[in-house]
């Protein structure tokens, strides 16, 4: 999508700190981290959010969660653990309208971190 911030990051038009990349997925450090480790995992293809992923596209979740496993291994956080969050729509406070999953790690987290 032309005016989407995260599409521009995928295309390299806006700089990012890459953590992981494969054919369908891109992951990079959040610019305003809410935890010592804060990574955003996104599909390269544009979806606004979870509600925009229709049944025929749900294989993207397998790609996302498989990438999350690899990122957890790469970052060495399997033992201590981590949290995955995806904001969807107005009440969640979703700011960027490109499907993304927050990976938070590196500290003990209370029930409300983001």
Rule CB under 6 A: which residues touch ligand AMP? 5, 14, 16, 30-32, 40, 87, 93-96
CB closer to ligand AMP out of 78 and 89: 89
CB closer to ligand AMP out of 51 and 78: 51
- Provide, rounded to whole angstroms, the least separation between the CB of residue 48 and ligand AMP: 11
SS (H, E, C) 4-32: CHHHHHHHCCCCCCEEEECCCEEEEECCC
State the catalytic residue, choosing from 38, 98, 100, 102: 100
Catalytic residue check, 100: yes
User: How far is 69 from 103, CA to CA, in rounded Å?
Assistant: 11
- Provide, rounded to whole angstroms, the least separation between the CB of residue 10 and ligand AMP: 12
CB closer to ligand AMP out of 41 and 72: 41
Question: Are the CB atoms for 80 and 72 separated by under 8 Å?
Answer: no
Identify which of 55, 105, 51 has the alpha carbon closest to the alpha carbon of residue 81.
Answer: 105
- Provide, rounded to whole angstroms, the least separation between the CB of residue 16 and ligand AMP: 5
User: How far is 96 from 87, CA to CA, in rounded Å?
Assistant: 9
**Active site positions, annotated:** 100
């Amino acid at each position: 999508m032309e005016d989407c911030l995260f599409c521009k990051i995928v295309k390299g038009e806006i700089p990012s700190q890459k953590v992981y990349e494969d054919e369908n997925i891109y992951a990079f450090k959040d610019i305003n981290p809410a935890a010592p480790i804060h990574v955003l995992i996104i599909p390269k293809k544009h979806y606004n959010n979870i509600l925009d992923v229709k049944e025929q596209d749900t294989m993207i979740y397998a790609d996302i969660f498989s990438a999350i496993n690899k990122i957890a291994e790469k970052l060495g956080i399997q033992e201590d653990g981590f949290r995955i969050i995806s904001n969807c729509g107005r009440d969640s406070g979703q700011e960027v309208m490109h499907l993304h999953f927050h990976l938070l790690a590196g500290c003990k987290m209370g029930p409300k971190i983001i």
